[in-house]
């Protein structure tokens, strides 16, 4: 081999080694107030609290949609629901959409999804067709509330499994890390905790039995909810400890967040309402109040993302795709709606001046636009303006005293809606 070829190959290997790894930890229906680093004291999340302290906690990290499938589609594509057309739980990501996995795979990344994909009712797309080398978990939404699953999909084939959901997922994740430690990787772990069913292993449940008043003592749902989050915390602790043990700590950007706020729906058995999971915010899953869209979130990347910091910079879930692309040394597709937030995550810049948007198309129809600290919330054409930094509980409607700002944000929403794609 001549010297020129050797240097070229060496340069290529070095460049690949410099690409950061990405570990994306995604909870399901976890409220902002369900974790210790946001003030929860009724149960403990020591691993999440420790990992968060090693990075930056983002107090104004927003999901892109207040329900499961559209939220995940926005994350994967970096685009609003009105653009990728996934606006309810029965719709799949269109095959033509480019996912984070596809962008990173094009840069030499190993890609894997272990957990919940959430195909729509038509089952038209598969993660193996959208950039993932490996998948293992819940392919459809049908069983993605069973915490003691009997079967998981490995790629396109079902196989029997046993154990608790997050433990099964993390075991697979650690196997993936062992096999891909020498190359850049994107490991996406969309857990189903604490989404209903409300059930946890007895070894965790016994710690909380009797701690909370239960409507029916024989059905300790409130204790189970605490135990579920504790079990999730332990599973996340194991996978991050394994990553660190493999020497990947400094080369891996870890993101933790949730798909939407905690729910007060019937399947939740009233436990999130009892525990006030979204505190100090109003609202829940399926609403555009802060409780439905503001997520417990942090980024850890030693030496790159400041440790021990809390940030009020606005981050939107559509930003993840272009940010990961930029950190990997490439660009997301030109049609993404999100922004490269790598400098913001690293504490070197403020969030860009922009208006970000949300919609909930079902009854009551809700729309929202935020610019800086101000958020306009439209519920069936009734409009409310809040300063969500000074008034995170959204108690004081500022529209009467700031009519021009309310009109401007309303006009922004109208212009945004005109860009909607045809399903």
User: Catalytic residue numbers?
Assistant: 68, 118
Q: What share of the chain is helix, strand, coil (3-state, %, to 5)?
A: 35, 20, 45
Of 390, 392, 301, the C-alpha closest to 348 is 301
In angstroms, rounded to a whole number, what is the distance separating the alpha carbons of residues 293 and 66?
6
Burial per residue of 298-326, b for 16 or more beta-carbon CB atoms within 10 angstroms, e otherwise: bbbbeebbeeeeebebbbbbbbbbbbbbb
- Per-residue DSSP letter, 198: -
For the chain, the residue count is 423
What Cα–Cα distance (Å) separates residue 362 from each residue in 34, 169, 243, 286, 329? 27, 33, 41, 9, 39
> Alpha carbon 56 to chain centroid distance?
16
Cβ–Cβ < 8 Å for 22, 76: no
Contacts of 126 (CB under 8 A, 6+ apart): 119, 135, 139, 156
Nearest CA to 260 out of 332, 363, 190 is that of 190
DSSP assignment of 54-69, as one string?
TSEEETTEE-SSSSHH
247: left (phi > 0), else alpha (psi -120 to 50), else beta?
left
Omega of the bond prior to 197 within 30 degrees of 0, cis?
yes
In the block, tokens 């030109």 appear at: 334
Give residues with Cβ within 8 angstroms of 158, minimum separation 6: 151, 152
Q: Tell me the angle at which helices 165-180 and 221-245 cross, rounded to the nearest 10 degrees.
A: 10
Residue 240 to residue 254: CA distance in whole angstroms: 9
Locus of tokens 């069913």: 197
């Amino acid at each position: 081999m001549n010297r020129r070829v050797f240097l070229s190959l060496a340069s290529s290997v070095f460049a690949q080694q410099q690409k950061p790894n990405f570990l994306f930890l995604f909870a399901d229906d976890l409220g902002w107030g369900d974790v210790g680093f946001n003030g929860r004291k009724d149960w403990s999340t020591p691993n999440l609290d420790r990992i968060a302290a090693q990075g930056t906690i983002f107090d104004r990290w927003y999901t892109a949609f207040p329900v499961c499938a559209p939220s995940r589609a926005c994350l994967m594509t970096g685009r609003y629901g009105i653009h990728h057309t996934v606006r309810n739980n029965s719709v799949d990501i269109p095959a033509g959409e480019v996912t984070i996995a596809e962008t990173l795979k094009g840069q030499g990344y190993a890609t894997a999804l272990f957990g919940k994909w959430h195909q729509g009712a038509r089952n038209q797309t598969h993660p193996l067709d959208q950039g993932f080398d490996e998948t293992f978990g819940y392919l459809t939404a049908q069983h993605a509330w069973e915490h003691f699953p009997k079967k998981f999909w490995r790629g396109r084939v079902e196989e029997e499994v046993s154990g608790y959901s997050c433990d099964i997922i993390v075991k697979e994740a650690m196997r993936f890390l062992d096999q891909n430690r020498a190359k850049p990787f994107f490991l996406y772990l969309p857990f189903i905790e604490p989404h209903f069913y409300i059930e946890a292993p007895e070894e965790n449940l016994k710690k909380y039995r009797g701690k909370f008043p239960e409507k029916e003592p024989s059905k300790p749902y409130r204790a189970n909810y605490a135990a579920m989050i504790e079990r999730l915390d332990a599973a996340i602790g194991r996978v991050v400890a394994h990553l660190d043990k493999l020497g990947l700590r400094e080369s891996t950007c870890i993101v933790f967040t949730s798909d939407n706020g905690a729910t007060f729906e019937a399947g939740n058995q009233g436990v999130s309402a009892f525990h006030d999971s979204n505190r100090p915010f109003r609202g829940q899953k399926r609403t555009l109040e802060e409780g439905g869209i503001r997520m417990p979130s942090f980024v850890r990347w030693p030496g790159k993302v400041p440790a021990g910091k809390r940030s009020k910079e606005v981050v939107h879930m559509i930003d993840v795709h272009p940010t990961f692309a930029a950190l990997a040394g490439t660009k997301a597709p030109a049609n993404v709606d999100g922004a490269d937030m790598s400098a913001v995550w690293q504490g070197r810049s403020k969030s860009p001046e922009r208006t970000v948007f949300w919609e909930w198309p079902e009854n009551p129809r809700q729309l929202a636009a935020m610019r800086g600290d101000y958020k306009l919330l439209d519920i069936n054409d009734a409009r409310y303006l809040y300063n969500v930094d000074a008034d995170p509980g959204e108690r004081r409607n500022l529209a009467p005293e700031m009519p021009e700002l309310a009109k401007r944000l309303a006009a922004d929403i109208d212009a945004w809606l005109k860009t909607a794609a045809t399903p």
